[in-house]
């Protein structure tokens, strides 16, 4: 692998009930965040999102969003360290509102998007179909999951590696790949994963 770039790191929490978003925004504004406009109504409040889709606050490269339909709070940025910093601040605000993330439906889910020039080992796998198709087949993309876990559980890992075909050439030594990771775990492991995301991705991509 000659090159790897992290495009986006996202931490998401799925709640059973909507947290008090207007109060959360008030707390974040006090910490220097740009926040969405809150308009009081007879039944509560409406949120004027900063950006589509669903962005309610921002600081630096980080955007915080909330999807009311899915009850999902997200923190994302191309900078992993900034994601961790904002995660700590958002958690502090939620604690002040008596909201425990650990009791959420899905407390922590990390979604990582990256691109890399590489030649995965699985691309050496070929299937003989010349008699059927007039040509053989070669494995060019792959997906890997945590063994023994299910995609609906609170602990899950899914690595997907697939080529960007607009840049694909058979003669190339390496190909441009898009890499995505979905990872659900307890907080300490999620934090460690984000802190070391580039090294972890490099190790994974060298082995597959």
Q: What is the pLDDT of residue 61?
A: 97
Q: Say if residues 4 and 201 touch (Cβ distance below 8 Å).
A: yes
φ and ψ at residue 148, rounded to 5 degrees: 85, 0
Name residues whose C-beta falls within 8 Å of residue 84's C-beta, 6 or more positions apart in sequence: 191, 194, 195
Q: What is the pLDDT of residue 39?
A: 87
Q: Say if residues 50 and 64 touch (Cβ distance below 8 Å).
A: no
The SS3 call for residue 202 is helix
Handedness of CA 138, 144, 148, 154 (dihedral sign): negative
Residues 91-101: b if buried by 16+ CB within 10 A, e if exposed = eebbeeeebeb
- Cis before 53? omega within 30: yes
Q: What is the pLDDT of residue 42?
A: 66
Q: Say if residues 91 and 73 touch (Cβ distance below 8 Å).
A: no
Question: What is the bridge-based pairing of β-strands 156-163 and 175-184?
Answer: antiparallel
Query: What would the two tokens of residue 102 be?
Result: 């650990």
Q: What is the pLDDT of residue 41?
A: 76
φ and ψ at residue 191, rounded to 5 degrees: -60, -45
Q: What is the CA radius of gyration of the chain?
A: 21
CA 5 remoteness from chain centre: 14
Domain boundaries, the chain: 1-10+108-208, 17-103
- pLDDT tens-place string over residues 134-166: 999 999 999 999 999 999 998 999 999 999 999
Per residue of the chain (208 residues), give pLDDT as tens. Answer: 889 999 999 999 999 999 999 999 999 999 999 999 998 776 777 899 998 889 999 999 999 999 999 999 999 999 999 999 999 999 999 999 999 999 999 999 999 999 999 999 999 999 999 999 999 999 999 999 999 999 999 899 999 999 999 999 988 999 999 999 999 999 999 999 999 999 999 999 999 9
């Amino acid at each position: 692998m000659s090159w790897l770039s992290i495009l986006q790191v996202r931490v998401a929490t799925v709640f059973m009930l909507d947290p008090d978003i207007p109060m959360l925004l008030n707390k974040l504004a006090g910490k220097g965040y740009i926040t969405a406009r809150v308009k009081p109504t007879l039944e509560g409040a409406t949120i004027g999102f900063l950006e589509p889709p669903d962005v309610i606050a921002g600081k630096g490269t980080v955007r915080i969003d909330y999807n009311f339909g899915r009850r999902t709070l997200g923190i994302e940025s191309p900078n992993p360290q900034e994601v961790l910093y904002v995660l700590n601040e958002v958690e502090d605000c939620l604690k002040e509102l008596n909201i425990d993330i650990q009791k959420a439906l899905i407390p922590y889910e990390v979604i990582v998007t990256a691109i890399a020039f590489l030649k995965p080992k699985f691309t050496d796998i070929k299937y003989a179909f010349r008699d059927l198709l007039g040509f053989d087949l070669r494995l060019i993309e792959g997906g890997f999951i945590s063994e023994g876990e299910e995609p609906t559980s609170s602990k899950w890992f899914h690595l997907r590696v697939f080529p960007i075909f607009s840049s694909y050439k058979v003669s190339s030594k390496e190909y441009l790949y898009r890499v995505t990771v979905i990872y659900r775990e307890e907080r300490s492991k999620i934090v460690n994963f984000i802190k070391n995301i580039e090294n972890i991705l490099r190790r994974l991509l060298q082995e597959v």
